[in-house]
Amino acid sequence: MININFKANYKILHFTNEIGKYMAGGIATYIDQLYKHHTEDTGFVHFYDDEILTDIRIESYPGIKDILSVSYKEIGRLKEINFQIAIVHFYGLSFIAEEEILKNKKLVYVVHSVPATEPYAIEDPFGGNYQIQKDFETLSYRADAIICVLEAEKEKLKSLYPELENKIYVIHNGMEFDSADSIKRNVKPTRRNFGFIGRLDYRKGLLECIKAFKKIDGELHIACDNQDPFYLSAILNYIEAAEMQNKIHFYGWCHGERKKAFLNSLDALIIPSLYEPFGYVVLEAINAKTPVITSRNGGISEIIGEYKYTFDPYQEGELEKAIKTFQEDTVEEIEKEMEKLYKRKELFTAQKMVEKYTDLFNSLL
């Protein structure tokens, strides 16, 4: 274990597999916001696979205190940690619910996304992934409280496990926004540069997005990881077969200042997710004053409200139509839509998120 000014006792401990630059998706962004606003009685335990991460770098964490870095091979030592409430952020950490570790302490499970397939069948929502189902149910049933990040995810969880309803709470994810006056951004009369940023996961809808660009006068810039080589191979094969090499550009994973620069380079960010439980990237785009063209499935609709440039990812041709509408609309029309998004960000501040977490934790003690 690597102790980064981690104390002997905490009131609250967050257990996560993502934090700082050790990230796979939006959970790291969320954890970093919690860390930025955390109090002295709150700590963070980061789990990692030492066969993949052979070296842990302290500078890759969001700070230099209240962090414990633990290899999965060291989970037996967790019984040495003293805390009152465990907050678990990933179903793969279901071992936290074991009596040897948790004992009589309180457990809060944050469901960032019900790990079902997309779309899912009600009779087998996990698509035969029984270990995932077991881990998810272990945490869900043992938890004293379950937090869903949006109403849409709460409704999904209730539909699968109605018996859990009484302990499900909704606390919107939040982030600290830059001052609107500090960001200067103009909508261009001609709009051809579009972007995608996210994990390489079929549920993010990247292949469908690329197919839509076959008939679009524009280019798609992609910032993603390469964690699914089979999906990446299918994407690259399509690009080659469709002779779209000059329209599709890959940039690798973007984080921090590089992500901001990527968003600033775009005329619009496209979010083609088949289902999105929250969508931190929407908030990040709003913060950068970058227009979005987004799927309205899942929780994104709760973030964007009555915003114009949306589509149903399951309806063929809707994404292409939304992009063309964005290209053809006047600068004034787009600026009007962006004003709607700016107003929505006040609903998703880090301060509001932290206050609601604090109220819930206090109610459990």
Residue 265 DSSP label: T
Alpha carbons within 13 angstroms on the beta-carbon side of residue 193 total 10
DSSP H/E element including 109: strand 106-111
Shared domain for 355 and 257, answered yes or no, is: no
Q: In the chain, pLDDT over 90 holds for what percent of residues?
A: 78
Shared domain for 210 and 95, answered yes or no, is: no
- Judged against a pLDDT cut of 90, whether residue 337 lies above it is answered with yes
pTM confidence score: 0.88
Is residue 20 left, alpha or beta, with left meaning phi > 0 and alpha meaning psi from -120 to 50? left
Structure tokens at 354: 């932290």
Shared domain for 136 and 190, answered yes or no, is: no
**Tens of pLDDT, residues 285-310:** 999 999 999 999 888 999 999 999 99
Three-state secondary-structure class, residue 337:
helix
Q: Which structural domain range is residue 334 located in? A: 180-347
Say how many C-beta atoms besides its own lie within 10 A of residue 56's C-beta.
Answer: 16
Question: What's the pLDDT score for residue 24?
Answer: 66
Shared domain for 45 and 131, answered yes or no, is: yes
The residue-averaged pLDDT of 256-274 equals 93
Place of tokens 């969320």: 30
Work out the pLDDT band at 132, boundaries 50, 70, 90. Answer: very high
Shared domain for 108 and 199, answered yes or no, is: no
Shared domain for 274 and 261, answered yes or no, is: yes
Task: Give which of 85, 126, 75, 133 is closest to 109, Cα–Cα.
Answer: 85
Bridge partners of 9?
82
Shared domain for 190 and 299, answered yes or no, is: yes
Residue 198 CB burial class (10 angstroms; 0-12, 13-18, ≥19): buried
User: Could you give the strand order of the β-sheet that contains 292-295, starting from the edge strand earlier in sequence?
Assistant: 248-250, 219-224, 193-198, 268-271, 292-295, 310-311
Question: What's the pLDDT score for residue 180?
Answer: 65
Shared domain for 121 and 210, answered yes or no, is: no
The domain tally of the chain equals: 2
Shared domain for 122 and 255, answered yes or no, is: no
CATH code of residue 139: 3.40.50.2000
Question: What's the pLDDT score for residue 181?
Answer: 62
Shared domain for 16 and 105, answered yes or no, is: yes
Shared domain for 66 and 157, answered yes or no, is: yes
Shared domain for 328 and 354, answered yes or no, is: no
Structure tokens at 42: 């709150």
Provide the CA 247 distance to its chain's centre, in angstroms. 27
